[in-house]
Amino acid sequence: MVSRQLKLENQVNDYWDTDILGSNDNCTVYFEEYILAEVNSDLTFAFDNIDRLFPYESVIEDFFGMLRSWHEKGKIHTSWAQVRLILSHSTEVYIPLDINQSPFNAGVPILLEEFDTLQIENLATLYKLNWNKSQVKELMNLVGGHPYLVTLAMYQIKTKNIVLEQFVRGATSETGIYSSPLRRLLNILKQSSKLSSAFAKIVKSQEPIAIDSLQIYQLHSLGLIQHKQNLVAPRCKLYRDYFNRILSNN
């Protein structure tokens, strides 16, 4: 497919040698000896939604290890120096990759930061919602500046023509707009009793608390918590209300 995109002749069969090399080495050889040799400009590979591979443990170690090796080759080989890798992924799944094989601790990480008040006001304008500052504050009191949760709220309010107060009342219900992402996060938490227990303590406490550093990393990767110096608290009221109700019953 890369050959087609670059309008190069398909020569995979000429370079692929399964008698000697594995898939990763064959793929690397094909790029190094053929594609990169034919391309005289920078080449960017953008992998969107790459977290869809995370559940496939038999694949991720080799595949992500190959991408990491390409990154490292760029430091010493001229041909690989023209290659740029962009990996776009959700942080909802924690994968225990070897730090020397992971592409996620190399290069420059770019995190999607929380929206601030002005950005949410601008987004409301784009959705043609005639909101004042108090309405923006009401939504932020529920979900903070979480980009996905904010956008999801505005989309439903606009398309279903409901008022903000009605939306907020049903936000944590099992049939509300957030039911699917909340259940997805709940399913992830249930895979680890220790992690689930740690988050239950966080949402139950009205003050930031201290927990194990690995659990902080995992919960932060899931986007569930925010740091308060060396302590942690739920990322938003939506998470506190929903998980305090659900986890206290388990």
CA distances from residue 153 to 148, 150, 239, 240 in whole angstroms, order as listed = 9, 5, 15, 17
The more confident residue out of 91 and 32 is 32
* Residues 184/227, Cβ–Cβ less than 8 Å: no
Which residues, other chains included, contact 1 with Cβ-Cβ below 8 Å and sequence gap of 6+? none
CB 3 within 8 A of CB 35: yes
- Residues 223 and 219: their CA atoms lie apart, in Å, by 6
Residues 210 and 202: their CA atoms lie apart, in Å, by 9
**Average pLDDT over every residue of 215-224:** 87
pLDDT for position 76: 93
3-state helix, strand, coil in the chain (%, to 5): 55, 10, 40
The token duo for 221 is: 């990767």
Q: Which amino acid is at 133?
A: K
**pLDDT band per the 50, 70, 90 thresholds, residue 147:** very high
Mean pLDDT calculated for residue range 160-166: 90
Task: Reply yes or no on domain 179-247 having CATH 1.10.10.
Answer: yes
250 pLDDT above the threshold of 90: no
Domain with CATH 1.10.10 in the chain: 179-247
Q: Are 30 and 40 in contact (CB under 8 A)?
A: no
C-alpha to C-alpha distance for 117 and 115, rounded to whole angstroms: 7
Q: Span 97-124, mean pLDDT? A: 84
Q: What is the mean pLDDT of residues 229-234?
A: 91
Q: What tokens were used for 102? A: 């992971």
Q: Each residue of 34-92: pLDDT tens digit? A: 999 999 889 999 999 888 888 888 888 889 999 999 999 999 999 999 999 999 887 65
Q: Are 60 and 97 in contact (CB under 8 A)?
A: yes
CB 55 within 8 Å of CB 93: yes
Write out pLDDT tens, residues 175-207. 889 999 999 899 989 988 999 999 999 999 999
pLDDT, mean of residues 147-163: 93
- How large is the average pLDDT for residues 99-120? 84
- Could you give the angle at the alpha carbon of 1 between the alpha carbons of 76 and 45, nearest 5°? 40
pLDDT single digits (tens) 68-83 = 999 999 999 999 999 9
Mean pLDDT of 7-32: 92
- Check pLDDT > 80 for residue 218: yes
Mean pLDDT within 240-244 = 94
pLDDT at 49: 87
Query: What band does 249 get if pLDDT is binned at 50, 70 and 90?
Result: low
**Which phi and psi (to 5°) does residue 96 adopt?**
-80, 70
